[in-house]
A and B are shown apart, each in its own frame.
Chain A
Amino acid sequence: MPEKKARIAKQFIAAIPHARALEMSVDQVLSGRAELSLPYNERLIGDPETGVLHGGVVTALLDTAMGTAVVSHPQSTGGTATIDLRIDYMRGATPGQRLRAEAECYRVTRSVAFVRATAYDESDEPVAAAAGAFTVEGAKP
């Protein structure tokens, strides 16, 4: 039931205060895949010289997209929490542009979900790449 999963994922994100504070939106959810984005906001600037968003904003979007990919995976039936997250920052996101993250949960074991994700601004050149391990709660055996 991919539509039901997508609806649950959207509700799941809407209920997260930190995602709301950063004005995140869920653009697409398929089983084990999620695409989220957030608008540019001057309050989130990390480099006042250039107006580039702070790395922490990129981290929050990637982490949320990755968590959404985990809960939307067919083998996951519950919530999730981040165990470990690595982010490589390739370049600053262009000021004024939306920040977008694509996450893929590519493997789920009984306890751990492995996820990778990429962040973009409005161009196709990646801004950051992430790899993480997440907990699996209530997975089907």
Chain B
Amino acid sequence: MKKPEPVQVIKQRRDAALAELVGGIPFIGFLGVQFERRGDELTATLPYIEHLVGNPILPALHGGAVGAFLEIAAQIELGWQTYWPQFEAGATGPKLIPKTIDFTVDYLRTGLPRDAYARAVVNRSGRRFASVHVEAWQDNRSKLFAQATGHFLMPRL
């Protein structure tokens, strides 16, 4: 049996691959979305910042910003899973991001002026199309404030 890789080598490789995938998309930086990784599991965070507000009286997060956050979380999760075998093989270089075909957002609660989190699940990923579901919460993991389902066109690998 092959000797397992040292833990630091694995962590460094995976973190670098994730940073490359996320860092290539300027809009993710504009919105301020960050990703945390545990093994291959990703959690997206949208740190609260005033420019995400859509209703200044309440105040509440903008529906468009929440939708964009969910779309980013879904897209990165799909890209991450798609390229995981290549990342593990140590392949670097530009990665084509799946293109959104449609995206449906369900606004369950008002987005409060604080950090939001999201996790996406790839329900089906074929050669051409993928279906991804994403859930977002703020204070309590069991109290979602938004969820979405989207279909994506897979990049030609």
Contact = CB atoms under 8 A, between A and B. Distances in A.
A54 to B, nearest CB: 4
Given A49-B96, A55-B71, A56-B27, 13 more contacts: A16-B62, A18-B54, A21-B52, A43-B26, A46-B27, A47-B25, A48-B26, A54-B68, A56-B72, A57-B68, A64-B62, A82-B105, A84-B106
Given A82-B107, A87-B103, A60 B64 contact: yes
B102 A59 contact: no
B86 interface: no
Contacts of A48: 24-26
A81 B60 contact: yes
Q: Interface size class for chain B?
A: 35 or more
Nearest to B62: A18
Main secondary structure of the interface of B (DSSP, over half): mixed
Given A57-B68, A60-B67, A79-B57, A43 B30 contact: yes
Contacts of A84: 104-107
A88 B100 CA distance: 8
B150 to A, nearest CB: 9
Contact of A15 (B24, B30, B31, B56): B56
Contacts of B94: 49
Contacts, number: 128
Interface in A77-132: 79, 81-89, 92
A36 B25 CA distance: 25
Contacts of A87: 67, 102-104
Interface in B21-36: 24-31
Given A16-B56, A16-B62, A21 B51 contact: yes
Contact of B51 (A18, A57, A88): A18
B141 interface: no
Nearest to B100: A55
B65 A60 contact: yes
Given A81-B63, A81-B107, A89 B102 contact: yes
B99 A89 contact: yes
A45 interface: yes
Nearest to B69: A56
Given A43-B27, A48-B25, A55 B51 contact: no
A27 interface: no
A67 B104 CA distance: 16
Interface centre among A54, A60, A88 (most CB of B within 10 A): A54
A44 B27 contact: yes
A62 interface: yes
A63 B25 contact: no
